[in-house]
Structure 1
Amino acid sequence: MGSVGDAYDNAMAESQIGAYKTELIRPDGPWRDVQHVELNTLHWVHWFNHDRPHESIDDLTPIEVESAHYAARNRLIPSG
């Protein structure tokens, strides 16, 4: 397990870039230019961070967990 910004992070980024080039951007791929890559990457990252169910949090989405957290927190009655 490394720290942020180490060689493992760079290897992961290079692997992702290689997948884009090989599977998506080549002449027969579905994306034709950088704009397509950027837009679809943004959609994927949004889905991954907000809409994807996570097994580690009982197959809920991060938004559902965050909403439940703040709802529970707001039900607490301050003492004093």
Structure 2
Amino acid sequence: MLQRPLEPKQYTSFRLAAHLAGEHIAASIGTVGDALDNALMESTIGLYKTELIKRRGPCRTLTDVELGTAEWIDWYNNRRLHGEIGHVPPVEYETAFYLSQPNLQLEAQP
């Protein structure tokens, strides 16, 4: 029985899956039509566009975009109050988390 040859996208997908399996790497690629991999990124881009780009108006230069982005990322990580983590900034929550973990460093043995 003759088999149809793989379409280029199926071939690439098969080769990628085989390569990842051979290297013991878990694929982060969803199934066709699955937006789970991109959901967080798309949500963050939406916030960025709403909170920075639309509020400040059109950027006139690349420097405007770069400085605005750096300021927004600083605010997003260091000063934004996040309701899902107790209305504290993400950096404060992360710091508290790591301070609450046991010290896992090995001590020198005599």
TM-score by length of 2: 0.43
Q: In the alignment, residue 46 of structure 1 is paired with which amino acid? A: D
Task: Tell me the distance in 2 between the aligned counterparts of 1:3 and 1:66.
Answer: 24
Q: State how 1:1-80 maps to structure 2 within 5 Å.
A: 2-5=35-38, 9=42, 16=49, 20=53, 24-25=57-58, 31-74=59-102
Task: Tell me the distance in 1 between the aligned counterparts of 2:98 and 2:84.
Answer: 19
Larger radius of gyration: 2
Structure holding more helix per residue: 1
> Which structure 2 residue ranges, 5 or more long, are not aligned?
1-33, 105-110
Task: Tell me the distance in 1 between the aligned counterparts of 2:85 and 2:38.
Answer: 27
Q: CA RMSD in A?
A: 3.4
Q: In the alignment, residue 37 of structure 2 is paired with which amino acid? A: V
Against the structure 1 CA distance between its residues 53 and 35, is the aligned structure 2 distance closer, same or farther, given a 3 Å change threshold?
A: same
TM-score by length of 1: 0.55
RCO higher in structure (CA 8 A, sep ≥6): 1
Q: Count residues in correspondence.
A: 64
Q: CA offset at residue 42 of structure 1?
A: 1.6
> Which structure 1 residue ranges, 5 or more long, are not aligned?
26-30
Against the structure 1 CA distance between its residues 63 and 39, is the aligned structure 2 distance closer, same or farther, given a 3 Å change threshold?
A: same
